[in-house]
Amino acid sequence: MSVGLYYTPGSSLCRTVLLAAKAIGVDLNLKLLDIAGGEQLKPQFIKFNPQPTIPTLVDNYFVVWESRAIITYLQNKYGRNDSLYPKEPKKRAIVDQRLYFDMDLFSRFHQVYNPKTLAAGHPDPEIVKSANEGLESSDTFLNKSEFVAGDQLTLADLAIVTQIS
């Protein structure tokens, strides 16, 4: 089995895939991309990922990008059971909803940290307020259950914890 992951260590989205792969039991062949150097813009990378984004997974000529699509694919293909991504429709819908929530959380955090890390600037206080509201929303999930999507660890927890950390 040859499952390759194009990634960069500083990306929370890449860390989500690394964490999920470990939890699922999939060994990844890691391929570090120099994003600052524009390696993801080279024709050989764009040939199989026209967006060109990371993380990008290549599993025996099947290519998928977007972290949440990658982790659900890995679980669906390699998962030994359905505990991380339940098959029961209502439970899965909650996990999926929390994964979509994670997209929003990522966007809010990205707006806070991007100006500071890329331009040495300071984020707008309203953007910080929005990020804090996202964190408060995640707290409401945890007030109702031990994990963000119920009473057991799921892919949604793995995605959200990398955003918050």
- The model's pLDDT over 58-95, given as tens digits with 9 standing for 90+, comes to 999 999 999 999 999 999 999 999 999 999 999 999 99
Which positions are catalytic?
11
- End-of-domain residue from the set 78, 107, 141: 78
Global confidence as pTM? 0.89
Cβ atoms of 13 and 54 closer than 8 Å: yes
Number of domains observed in the structure of the chain? 2
Q: Which of 117, 11, 19 is nearest to 75 (CA)?
A: 19
Is the residue at 84 inside a domain? Answer: no
One-letter amino acid for residue 162 of the chain: T
48 and 108 part of one domain: no
Strand segments (E) across the chain: 3-7, 29-32, 56-59, 62-65
Residues 107 and 68 in one domain: no
Tell which residue, 141, 152, 29, 144, has the closest CA to residue 164.
141
Residue 83 belongs to some domain of the structure: no
Q: How confident is the model at residue 142 (pLDDT cuts 50, 70, 90)?
A: confident
Tokens of 150: 């119920």
Could you tell me the residue range of the domain that residue 160 belongs to?
89-164
